[in-house]
Amino acid sequence: MNAAPSRTVRTTCPYCAVQCNFDLHLEQGLVTRATPTRECPVAHGTVCKKGLAALNDLRHPDRLTTPLLRRDGQLVPVGWPEAMAYVRDALGPLVQSTPQRVGVFGSGSLTNEKTYLLGKFARVALRTPHIDYNGRYCMASASAALNRTFGLDRGLGFPLDDLPRSDLIVLVGANIAETLPPVMQYLKAARDRGGAVYAIDPRVTPTVKVAGRHLAPRPGTDGVLALGLLHLMKQWGRIRPTAPAHGLSDVLWHADDYHPARVAHECGVPEAELLALARAYADARTPLILTGRGPEQHTHGTDTVQAWINLAFLTGHVGKQGGGFGTLTGQGNGQGGREHGQKNDQLPGARSLRNPSHRAQMAAHWNVPEHHLPQPGHSAQELLNACGESGEGGLDALIVLGSNPVVSAAGAGQITEKLRALKHLIVIDFLPSETAQLATLVLPGSMWCEEEGTTTNLEGRVQRRRRAMTAPGAAREDWRILCDLAHAVGRPHGFTYPTFRDLQDDFFLATRGGRADYSGLSAERLDRASAQWPVPRADGPDTPLAYAPTYPTPDGLATLHVPRLPAPDLAPRALHLTTGRLSGQYQSGTQTRRNPALKGENAVQIHPDTAHAHGLRAGQSVTLVTAHGQATLPVTLTPGIRPDTLFVPFHWPGAANLLTDPTALDPHSRMPGFKITPVTLRPAPAITANSAPERATPHPTSPALQT
């Protein structure tokens, strides 16, 4: 037999929302190396260590290569017919009798096509209202604020190439150097052209060091800071709204209360530093505000982001090239993943499940009666909280695709117990995540370069993800698994796609007329060039600038809302836990913790003064105690962090999210409060910093995998 020839396949990275392009070099059917390409429209030939190291996981010894069914407490290998028989017998009757007791949990890392198919599967095959995804834990607050202000949610309304046009970039809780490294080239270009960069962060991060100008407000007070800036812009005569809009005067009156002394006190920053930032903003021609997860992952995240949007809008900068407001999406397809129907209240093309005409459009496209489409169901955290509950709204079964809520959900300890209480937990994944280890059925899926699709990056740019190799063993492409599940539960109608291309064309067409309209796209067009949505016509242009002076709202006007912010905790010795990412890790770490090329320390970062006050030394163990749980971690002394703030990365099980609150949610975005939890410290027996890459650690009471 002839050996497979060497070849090269260009595709996109599996990780973050920059979506760098690589060339994958294959020998005998296997990817042997990846090289960045200068033709990449986003990163221009730069990548980060995570992207290049992603190859290491493709044939990792832990790869799931056969379905696993739980028998006598053990997950044991079975064939696909047996796995689908389980689905038919376990899920089929539930779907027929009580579909609302079945939930679906997706991911912001899924391609657009899988996002679309998962939503269709939930609404058309299962007919359950309860589908949501882990993007709810990422940029949902910015998404909610953009939608309610402009009727549109594209994280960046302009290409990254426009960033250097800005003469002042204000990064609010966005650690770009560690989370989106190639974007730093745009910040540096802005600085090279004479622009300034301010970083607002409770820690001196690598981004702060490059920015050079830093403000470190108390966690949870970013919205107060924005109100203080708006107050000063009003006082200094800098109010010139971008366009006529609803709510302008209410927002301006509300800012009258936020005088500099109050803002400096509540934010815990020197008044002179606040005034310096305000003066820089007032004097800038094209200031740009970019938010990250810092201001967003709060139970008041939507109103915090709103405060920054209000500032940009009222000073006349929204819609300018290189100016205004944007949010830096985090997950690989965090943008497309929030547009095409896996959100609890959403239909493809960023349509609303509550809108009668949107429902009619999608019912017609799917050839089902409109009344078969459910109404909106639980959001992500509520969906997980409902698992195993017997009362109304409770769930007996959950299907998880490419997500690991045992690590990433707020109150992960409580969520783990709820997942255990389910009758059926079906997990589709390519590695045995901590969630897969609790499953009753594990279905082996495909990794990034084992499937075709498209992703949409942080600037709304749609790109092709190309298949380079096949999944190992009996693992299958995820879209085929979803179609098989629909057939197994007895609802095959609409789930027979002869080829992936048929699914992709169905997806593009389904978005026609929606706000996120991709219907002018095709694989051939994307082979010629990436495109920023909306792209409504095959022979028409794409849309680099999304936020024009008129908006897709009923009257074409924006609506500003008065931010409702909680009073900050100003107790003198209060400590606040904040959680976040490390440069070498990604999300719940299912892939990156296994990767020998990637490091990261699962430790708590503490200011030396705070450590000294609690009798702690570097490397010593400390137990963090909150109202929701406790976790013991080694101490890392971090002079650049606020003394009232502790930082714990969220990539490891049994750590950050054991401490966060599973019930308190933002009223608009349904976001838990990952960024601020009151915490106390207790010395603990010595443990070793987990600085080495590790294998997944099964939950202590989880039955072992037999593979």
Q: Which residues contact 407 (CB under 8 A, 6 or more apart)?
A: 433, 434, 435, 588, 589, 590, 650, 651, 652, 653, 657
- Min dist. Cβ of residue 596 to ligand SF4 (A): 17
**Cα–Cα distance, 73 to 705 (Å, whole number):** 10
Per-residue contact flags (x/-) with ligand SF4 for residues 173 to 202, judged by CB under 6 A: -------xxx--------------------
- Min dist. Cβ of residue 29 to ligand SF4 (A): 24
Nearer to ligand SF4, 47 or 233 (CB): 47
Structure tokens at 312: 């940009």
Cβ count near 82 (within 10 Å):
12
Nearer to ligand SF4, 15 or 518 (CB): 15
CA nearest neighbour of 244 among 303, 196, 316, 341: 316
- Min dist. Cβ of residue 374 to ligand SF4 (A): 35
CA nearest neighbour of 78 among 397, 443, 391, 586: 443
Nearer to ligand SF4, 26 or 48 (CB): 48
Interstrand relation of 102-106 and 212-215 (parallel, antiparallel or unpaired): unpaired
- Min dist. Cβ of residue 201 to ligand SF4 (A): 19
For ligand SF4, the binding residues in 114-173 under the rule CB under 6 A are none
Among 11, 26, 31, 51, interactor with ligand SF4 by CB under 6 A: 51
Strand ranges of the sheet holding 212-215, from the earlier edge strand across to the other edge: 212-215, 196-200, 168-172, 287-291, 324-327
CA nearest neighbour of 671 among 122, 374, 304: 304
- Min dist. Cβ of residue 494 to ligand SF4 (A): 33
Q: What are phi and psi for residue 240, nearest 5 degrees?
A: -150, 90
Task: Determine if 19 is a binding residue for ligand SF4 (CB under 6 A).
Answer: yes
Task: Determine if 448 is a binding residue for ligand SF4 (CB under 6 A).
Answer: no
Q: Is 566 exposed, middle or buried (0-12, 13-18, 19+ CB in 10 A)?
A: middle
- Min dist. Cβ of residue 189 to ligand SF4 (A): 17
Total chain residues near ligand SF4 (CB under 6 A): 14
Q: What angle do CA 588, 592, 594 make, to 5 degrees?
A: 110
Task: Determine if 48 is a binding residue for ligand SF4 (CB under 6 A).
Answer: yes
Task: Determine if 50 is a binding residue for ligand SF4 (CB under 6 A).
Answer: yes
Nearer to ligand SF4, 8 or 357 (CB): 8
Shortest-Cβ-distance residue relative to ligand SF4: 51
Nearer to ligand SF4, 518 or 586 (CB): 586
Among 13, 104, 145, 190, interactor with ligand SF4 by CB under 6 A: 13
Nearer to ligand SF4, 19 or 346 (CB): 19
**Cα–Cα distance, 446 to 64 (Å, whole number):** 9
Per-residue contact flags (x/-) with ligand SF4 for residues 457 to 476, judged by CB under 6 A: --------------------
SS3 of residue 594 by DSSP: helix
Cβ count near 261 (within 10 Å):
11
Nearer to ligand SF4, 336 or 349 (CB): 336
**Cα–Cα distance, 22 to 24 (Å, whole number):** 6
**Cα–Cα distance, 707 to 703 (Å, whole number):** 12
Nearer to ligand SF4, 95 or 180 (CB): 180
Task: Determine if 377 is a binding residue for ligand SF4 (CB under 6 A).
Answer: no
Task: Determine if 47 is a binding residue for ligand SF4 (CB under 6 A).
Answer: yes
- Min dist. Cβ of residue 51 to ligand SF4 (A): 2
Task: Determine if 319 is a binding residue for ligand SF4 (CB under 6 A).
Answer: no
Candidate ranges 11-19, 85-93, 280-288, 486-494; the one touching ligand SF4 (CB under 6 A): 11-19
Task: Determine if 430 is a binding residue for ligand SF4 (CB under 6 A).
Answer: no
Cβ count near 499 (within 10 Å):
9
Candidate ranges 43-51, 543-551, 632-640, 684-692; the one touching ligand SF4 (CB under 6 A): 43-51
| Burial per residue of 275-286, b for 16 or more beta-carbon CB atoms within 10 angstroms, e otherwise | eebbebbbebeb
- Min dist. Cβ of residue 135 to ligand SF4 (A): 16
Element of type H or E holding 51: helix 49-53
Element of type H or E holding 280: helix 271-283
Per-residue DSSP letter, 402: S
Task: Determine if 337 is a binding residue for ligand SF4 (CB under 6 A).
Answer: no
Residues contributing to the site for ligand SF4 (CB under 6 A): 13, 15-16, 18-20, 43, 47-48, 50-51, 180-182
